[in-house]
Amino acid sequence: MRERMEQTGVKMCLDIHGDEAIPYNFVAGCEGIPSYDARMADLEDRFKRALLTVTPEFQDEHGYDKDAPGKANLTVGSNWIGERFKCLSYTVEMPFKDHNDHPDPDFGWSPARSQAFGRDMLSAILGVVDGL
């Protein structure tokens, strides 16, 4: 995969995960990478604003601590990709059990909600594609 990325380049990366502990959907950016700059910050902000606009399933209050400038762990995929390709690169985390802001007492965080959240991601991508 890495060889192919080197051949073609990368304009954007969304590394989708499930978080066992945090009951929210959130993104973790690469603000701690050495080359993080105003363009990357703008892309991250635009992506988050677009996602906040299209779905109540996303929030930007709870998540992982942000890395200090220049202190990102570059063995984390989204950090390495952001640094190597100077692109928008997020780890997207979804809850395993339920979303605390919008709980579903019958089904919790379900495959159907994951699919809907994935569709909503497309709108957020459209919100930043012109800057990629």
Query: Which residues carry out catalysis?
Result: 93
Point out which residues pair with 19 in neighbouring strands: 95
Q: How far is 4 from 40, CA to CA, in rounded Å?
A: 23
